[in-house]
Chains A and B, each alone.
Chain A
Amino acid sequence: RKEVEQDPGPFNVPEGATVAFNCTYSNSASQSFFWYRQDCRKEPKLLMSVYSSGNEDGRFTAQLNRASQYISLLIRDSKLSDSATYLCVVNRNNFNKFYFGSGTKLNVKP
């Protein structure tokens, strides 16, 4: 079983829509959780760290559900510029290694 699993998409949504991605992780010892954004042929860029209590940054909201071992990313009022691949990443702090999902592709259409 993969450490981190994501729906590859693509999610095709109109501008202004709300879209949500989920990501599941297999190891209950995972301690830190992140969402990264990766544009085509570019490096991943940190979007948000995911706090235990959930956190919000503008139009983006991240949630963590430890009992069910998943994290989610909600994007409100989608913009064309949100089109990208969103990577879910988990870390087991004791090992200093990061586990990446394969990414969920989002296409925001005019």
Chain B
Amino acid sequence: DGGITQSPKYLFRKEGQNVTLSCEQNLNHDAMYWYRQDPGQGLRLIYYSQIVNDFQKGDIAEGYSVSREKKESFPLTVTSAQKNPTAFYLCASSSDSSAFREQYFGPGTRLTVT
């Protein structure tokens, strides 16, 4: 079954702790993305990566870090520097070989920081 997996589904952390969210895809897509969604709001881009070992900041990268050591994997670390980390985090991927480059999303991770 091809797709994108994210784990865990729910994550609870204390303020001041770093936390890493997992994202894996077996769609052979080159590009991967991390978004954040807050209640009643649209998706905001945190980071994206078009190719292994390269990534770019999105609109709200402060307080986050990523790595792209393998094509299949794009983990996101939420650091203690992120002021409002509680949110729904969505990972997505897209293929450059598709004319439209549709994005496909994983099921998301709900992070709660108290």
In the complex, how many residue pairs between chain A and chain B have their CB atoms under 8 Å apart? Answer: 50
Q: Min CB distance, A22 to chain B, in Å?
A: 16
Per DSSP, are chain B's interface residues mostly helix, strand or loop, or mixed? strand
- Closest B residue, CB atoms, query A44: B105
Residues of B85-110 whose CB lies within 8 A of A: 88, 90, 94, 96, 100-108, 110
CB neighbours (8 Å) of A100 from chain B are 35, 42-43
Docked-complex contact B105 and A43, CB < 8 angstroms: yes
In chain B, positions 17-56 with a C-beta closer than 8 Å to chain A are: 31, 33, 35, 40-43, 45, 48, 50
How many A residues touch B, CB cutoff 8 Å?
20
Please determine whether A96 and B102 come into contact, CB atoms closer than 8 angstroms. Answer: no
> Which listed residue (A44, A96, A101) contacts B50, Cβ 8 A?
A96
A88 to B103, CA, bound (A): 12
Q: Judge if A45 is at the interface, Cβ distance under 8 Å.
A: yes
- B residues bordering A, Cβ < 8 Å? 31, 33, 35, 40-43, 45, 48, 50, 58, 88, 90, 94, 96, 100-108, 110
Name the one of A44, A45, A93 contacting B101, with C-beta atoms under 8 angstroms.
A93
The CA-CA distance from A41 to B40 in the complex, in Å, is 11
Residues of B within 8 A of A97 (CB): 45, 48, 58
* CA A100 to CA B34, docked complex, whole Å: 13
B90–A43 CB distance below 8 A: yes
Interface residues of A in 38-87 (CB under 8 A from B): 41-46, 49, 87
Q: Which residue on A lies nearest to B105, using beta carbons?
A: A43
- Taking a contact as CB atoms closer than 8 A, the residue among B90, B101, B108 that contacts A96 in the complex is B101
Minimum distance in angstroms from B103 CB to a CB of chain A: 6
Which residues on the A side are within 8 Å of B33 (C-beta)?
A: 98
CB distance from B34 to the nearest CB of A (A): 12
Q: Are B107 and A46 in contact (CB under 8 A)?
A: no
- Asked if A25 CB lies within 8 Å of chain B CBs, one says no
